[in-house]
Chain A
Amino acid sequence: MSGTKATPKKAFNFFDAVEKPTEWLIRLCGWSSIIGIAAIFLFIFKEAAPMVPRLDWFHLFTSSRWIPNPAPGNEASFGALALLVGTFTTTFIGLVVAVPVGLGAAIYISEFATGKMKETLKIVIELLAAIPSIVWGFIGLMVLGPLVSQIFSAEPESVWSHIMVTLHLASSDTGAAQGTNLLTGGVILALMSVPLIVSLSEDALRAVPDTFREAALALGANPWETVRRVLLPAARNGLLAACMLGMGRAVGETMAVLLATGHSNRIPLALTDPVRTLTATIAAEMGETVHGDDHYRVLFILGIVLFVITCGINVASDFIVKGVKKANQA
């Protein structure tokens, strides 16, 4: 062949022309989540930093005297013990209700339900998960609160009032002081975390290989025995991780507890005492502070404490799940 054939000119395509810059953009965006989490750390620490050396950390974690706006002439007191106790007790009550209900529902959906029923239940759980937290707070305030107040009220000297006081269900002998309290807050947190626990537990149960189920069936077990003696132990770590993530969600919840717990700075002695959580404190008091004030920085420090707690829970549950993957592959 003599000479070179003239190569036809390639048609200009916009997207091909920007391929290199686009790939750089993609690489940059890939780092976005790392940048995001680093930025959160950075900015929260930056705002809290000046207070960190000056704060009495021992007092923060051991005293429940939270007086950020003292009378003129008095010292401010930043004791967050009651707030921490409030956070943990509401989460605890929430988990006590959510874990059995969530695991039970997950087991039912995963092992017992079939076809249409299964699809419907999964869709309903997904829709429940979508309800925003302010609506849950509203429900706690307007619907659940009066209900709790009615159930836990009694005439003085009646039997129910004696039972309530003995079992620490109520502080006073006429029952619950107000409807928005630890119990209401805990139940609302439970209702919020159940969908998360259900979907994650269902994933964990699905991850157990079918060979386990077939082996159990071959040995003559009926479905309940398969669940109880084979699947639950096998999916144990995944289920534990699901509950821990539910707990993480409950710890970080703000608006629902702001409306439903009664916002009272005290260590609860009975189930129907009003309490206050870390998250509600930050939300309620942040708007008032002067930027750069001591109170402002202490609220950021509370934010750090909250962040550390939830990060810890997430990392722990991650490790638990990784342990499971290795065991199932072995």
Chain B
Amino acid sequence: MSKQNRLRRGILLGAVIATSTSLLAPTRTFAAEIRVKGSDTMVQLATAWAEAYRKVKKDVLVNANGGGTGTGMAALQNDTTDICNASREIKKEEAEKTKSHTGKEVKEFVVAYDALAVYVNPNNPITEISVPELTEIWAEGGATTTWDQVNPAMRGKIVLVGRQNNSGTYDYFREHICGKTSDKKQREFRSGISELNGSSEVVENVAKTRLAMGYSGMGYKTDKVKWLKVSNKKGEHGVEPGTDVARSGKYPIARKLYLYTAGEPRPEVKAYIDWILSPAGQKIVEQEGFVPLN
């Protein structure tokens, strides 16, 4: 056999060995795998849970992904996830669609509380805002577009930074801040809001932009931004986001964080959810900047 032929056959043999080894490789060394998808607000929390749970149960693999609450709901319907993280309550149509696609009822688990903070740039002198003012700023057809309409101390156009439209945070903020139109329909957001992909992106953007106002979970605060105290009515004292006020409801924009499964979860999934609701899991909730259940 000539040298060239030997070389060719050697390469072919090597390729065959490599391909077969990779296909047969023990990649699934885990006894069980739990797929988690959904809320971007919760993705850091979900990943922290996944990494901590790996130390608790070595043979269970938890794959946590983000993508937005809407993505998680879609995955639940398409049966490509076991758990859907949601930063808002499931909508009726979503529950119905899940039932029709998978044949199972949705099960809901409340795992934490969160407060939605209104972030502004540190150079912004404003410290308080009320929900009606927020409505006029954020909703379609709202009257407030410049900072001096809110507070004469600050000038310039209000640059609005929000989340993408599949996000549970987007849905929640819209439902509770944008209010209703005259014929009782939910008002949409105004157009022209930057729709950013991820809770931390909002915060980073606000940190770099002097005139920005953005909404995101309170767990994403960095020392490059500041948050506003929010009051229910104009003139009232505003409340800063915090664990107690989020749980008690004193902070106007507080919400629950949910886990959804299609039907009763499998034993290992149930064990995981139970662990999340236990003190060990709730400690991680607190570490990540959210509000534990008790």
Residues of A in contact with B (beta carbons under 8 Å apart) = 64-74, 82, 146, 149, 153, 156, 171-174, 177-179, 262-266, 274, 276, 284-285, 287-291, 293
Contact = CB atoms under 8 A, between A and B. Distances in A.
21 contacts: A65-B191, A68-B165, A69-B166, A71-B171, A71-B188, A72-B91, A72-B186, A156-B155, A156-B156, A173-B156, A174-B210, A174-B211, A178-B209, A178-B212, A266-B192, A274-B194, A276-B195, A285-B166, A288-B70, A288-B74, A289-B70
B188 A67 contact: yes
Given A71-B186, A263-B195, 20 more contacts: A69-B166, A71-B188, A72-B186, A73-B185, A73-B186, A74-B186, A82-B191, A174-B210, A177-B159, A177-B211, A177-B212, A178-B209, A179-B208, A263-B164, A263-B194, A264-B194, A284-B197, A288-B67, A289-B166, A290-B97
Contacts of A263: 164, 194-197
B194 A67 contact: no
**Looking at chain B's contact residues, is the secondary structure mostly helix, strand, loop, or mixed?**
mixed
B208 A74 contact: no
A68 B77 CA distance: 18
A146 B70 contact: no
B92 interface: yes
A91 B209 CA distance: 25
B236 interface: no
B135 interface: no
Contacts of A262: 194
Interface of B: 67-68, 70-71, 73-74, 77-78, 91-93, 97, 155-157, 159, 164-166, 170-171, 174-175, 178, 185-188, 191-197, 205, 208-212
Contacts of A64: 191
Given A72-B186, A290-B78, A146 B208 contact: yes
A287 B188 contact: no
**Looking at chain A's contact residues, is the secondary structure mostly helix, strand, loop, or mixed?**
loop
A67 B155 CA distance: 30
A289 B73 CA distance: 9
A208 B155 CA distance: 59
Contacts of A156: 155-156
A171 B208 contact: no
Contacts of A67: 165, 188
B205 A178 contact: yes
A177 B161 CA distance: 11
In the complex, the 4 A-B pairs of residues with the closest C-beta atoms, listed nearest first: A71-B186, A288-B166, A266-B192, A172-B157
A288 B186 contact: no
B191 A287 contact: no
Contacts of B211: 172, 174, 177
B113 to A, nearest CB: 23
A74 B188 CA distance: 9
A173 B210 CA distance: 12
Greatest chain A CB density within 10 A among B78, B91, B159, B185 is at B159
Nearest to A179: B208
Nearest to B192: A266
Nearest to A66: B191
